[in-house]
Amino acid sequence: MRAMVLDAPRRPLHEAELPDPEPAGDQVLLSVRACGVCRTDLHVVDGELGSGAARDRASPGRAAGPAGPKLPLVPGHQVVGVAGDGRRLGVPWLGWTCGACRYCRSGRENLCDRALFTGYQLDGGYAEQIVADERYCFAIPDGYGDAEAAPLLCAGLIGHRSLRMTGDAERIGLYGFGSSAHIVAQVARHQGRRVFAFTKPGDAEGQAFARELGAVWAGGSDERPPEELDAAIVFAPVGALVPAALANLAKGGAVVCAGIHMSDVPAFPYELLWGERSVRSVANLTRADGDELLALVRDAPIRVEVETFPLSQANEALARLRSGRIRGSAVLVV
């Protein structure tokens, strides 16, 4: 099969012919139709996950995050494919969990220390075929094309989990209006919330896109919204946005950090946190998250905006994403 392969971090992917994968145990073989290009893919390619620096900063006995990727690696974890019996299935980031640890046994399989992730420890969807544990795959809802469904499998899922972490917050700030935010903004509106979108300063096009999708206000991340926020979700991997978001929160509000990687959060005065404000992260996803979101999008009119690229142009798609030149989501079409 044809695949795009990462041999080492900070190197371009290269196109290769690999042996067709063979399913074993609970795995299913899928012919890949589409694979979303996620910011996590960028962090993998750029060598920003599983770094020695992160491990050195971790407290004794505390995991610093996922270990480094297997190499060589086929990236990609927002995969839509077709099984031999014609079923259209989605393969997400969470590829396997142990089922026995304290996290798995308490409904928190997303925190399993032995978890394996698609496009990281397991070969992903930047390829013509993929094998995946069928227990972790999702049926793709009718009404969404292959390319439109792919971003739901991570951008949508992480956005949805992040939104749930805000509780019943009515005024939601979204920092970074990319793949996840453009989906979760519509979910939030469907739930009757009001969305305030923050983009890079001066990104008039991105702000117009946010208003087009129902944001009541859109501006730069250096601007103050017209009213306080009940919660904020930070999608951009920029630590300085955490205190910026806190400064815009009403008392009791929460800042939810949605990414798997973020630059260091700078020191900030306790005054920003006081008033029962909080900061928390979101890690990975559970199968229940996927079932919940995909049930919701069957009924809610979610418009997934995509820019498609052929498989061979995966490096171009990653470069466009890195420079912020994607409207909505980038998707490889196989």
Angle at 184 between CA 165 and CA 242, to 5 degrees: 55
Give residue 75's pLDDT band: very low, low, confident or very high (50, 70, 90): very high
- All structural domains of the chain, each given as residue ranges with its CATH number in brackets, are 2-153+303-333 (3.90.180.10), 157-281 (3.40.50.720)
Average pLDDT over all residues of the chain? 95
Residues whose CB is less than 8 angstroms from the CB of residue 314 and which lie 6 or more positions away in sequence, other chains included: 4, 13, 37, 75, 126, 332
Question: For residue 314, what is the enclosing H or E element?
Answer: helix 314-322
Q: What is the pLDDT of residues 294-324, one digit of tens each?
A: 999 998 889 999 999 999 999 999 999 999 9
Give residue 55's pLDDT band: very low, low, confident or very high (50, 70, 90): very low
Task: Report the range of poorest mean pLDDT among 62-66, 80-84, 194-198.
Answer: 62-66
Say what the pLDDT of residue 105 is: 98
Residue type at 176? Answer: G
Cα–Cα distance between 124 and 93 in angstroms, integer?
Answer: 9
Give residue 30's pLDDT band: very low, low, confident or very high (50, 70, 90): very high
Whether 286 has a pLDDT exceeding 50, the answer reads yes
pTM over 0.75: yes
Question: For residue 5, what is the enclosing H or E element?
Answer: strand 2-5
CB neighbourhood size of 187 (10 A): 20
Say what the pLDDT of residue 213 is: 97
DSSP category for residue 134:
G
Residue type at 256? Answer: V
- Contact by Cβ (8 Å): 3, 128: yes
Residue type at 156? Answer: G
Beta-strand (E) ranges in the chain? 2-5, 14-17, 27-37, 79-83, 88-91, 94-96, 116-117, 129-133, 138-139, 171-175, 194-199, 217-220, 229-234, 249-257, 278-281, 306-310, 329-333
Say what the pLDDT of residue 225 is: 98
Span 254-281, mean pLDDT? 97
Span 207-223, mean pLDDT? 98
Question: For residue 253, what is the enclosing H or E element?
Answer: strand 249-257
Q: pLDDT exceeding 90 applies to what percent of the chain? A: 93
Give residue 65's pLDDT band: very low, low, confident or very high (50, 70, 90): low
